[in-house]
A and B are shown apart, each in its own frame.
Chain A
C-alpha cells in the first residue's frame, strides 16, 4: 500500500485566496483525520470522519475552514479566505477501527 497520500506537498498562496488540500487514505481504513501542526500549538486535531461522515469538527478554527469526504478514498480540507495565521503543516491520517493510525507526509501551507 502507498500509505496516506496528500497533495500538494507545498502550497504558497496570497491572503484572501481559497486553498484546497487533498488526502487519499489507506484503502480499507474507515477513519480519516485532519491535523494541523504549528510551532505555537503543536499537533492539533481539526476534524475526523468515520465511514465518510464527519464525527467531530470541534477543532476546526472557524467558518473559513471546511472539510468534506465525498467517498471512502478522498477527502478535502478547504480554507476560504486564507489568512497568514493559517500557515502551518496540515496532516491527514487514517486508521481502521481505531488502530493503525497512519499519517501522510503533510502539506506545508504558506499564506503571504
Chain B
C-alpha cells in the first residue's frame, strides 16, 4: 500500500460520464498553463494548454477553462473512457522564466 505522503484527491466517474478536474494555481503572474496526464510507470503526457489571454480552449474530448480572477483552472473530459484512468496534473508557467510549477495532482478512476 501507499506510505504516508501526498494524499491525491480522487475522482471516481462512471464510464461515459463527463469528468471535471479542478486546479487552483498560485501565481497571478502565470501566463501559460498545461494539463498533463500521468499513467502508472510513465512520464507526464501533454493533454492541452492555454495562455492567460484566453479563458477556454477545446481539444479532442477535452476542454480547459481558465478563471484568472480566482486563479482557477479546470479540465473537462467528455465521455470518460477506461483509458482516461490516470493522475492528472495542472502546471503553470510564470511570466518571467520558463519553468513549469506543478500542482499536486488528481487521480481519476473510471468505473466500467
Assess the B102–A50 pair: CB atoms within 8 A: no
Assess the A33–B99 pair: CB atoms within 8 A: yes
Chain B residues contacting A55 (CB-CB under 8 Å) are: 97
- Cα–Cα, bound, A97→B32 (Å): 12
A-B contact pairs, 26 of them (CB 8 A): A35-B102, A40-B4, A40-B5, A42-B104, A42-B105, A43-B102, A43-B105, A45-B99, A45-B100, A48-B98, A48-B99, A50-B98, A55-B97, A56-B99, A91-B43, A91-B44, A93-B44, A93-B100, A101-B34, A101-B46, A101-B91, A102-B46, A103-B43, A103-B45, A104-B43, A106-B43
Size range of the chain B interface in the assembly: 20 to 34
Number of interface residues of A (CB under 8 A): 28
Query: Quick one: closest B residue to A56, CB to CB?
Result: B99
Interface residues of B (CB under 8 A from A): 2-6, 32, 34, 36, 42-46, 49, 89, 91, 93, 97-105
Assess the A39–B5 pair: CB atoms within 8 A: yes
Determine how close the nearest CB of chain A comes to the CB of B61; give it in whole angstroms.
21
How many residue pairs, one in A and one in B, have C-beta atoms under 8 Å apart?
58
Q: Could you say which of B2, B43, B49 contacts A105, with CB atoms under 8 Å apart?
A: B43
- List which A38-88 residues lie within 8 A (CB) of chain B: 38-43, 45, 48, 50, 55-56
Chain A residues contacting B5 (CB-CB under 8 Å) are: 38-40
Query: Quick one: closest A residue to B42, CB to CB?
Result: A105
Q: Binary interface profile of A, 23-44, with partner B (CB < 8 Å = 1, else 0)?
A: 0000000010101001111110
Answer whether A39 and B98 are a contact pair too, CB < 8 Å, given A99-B49, A106-B43.
no
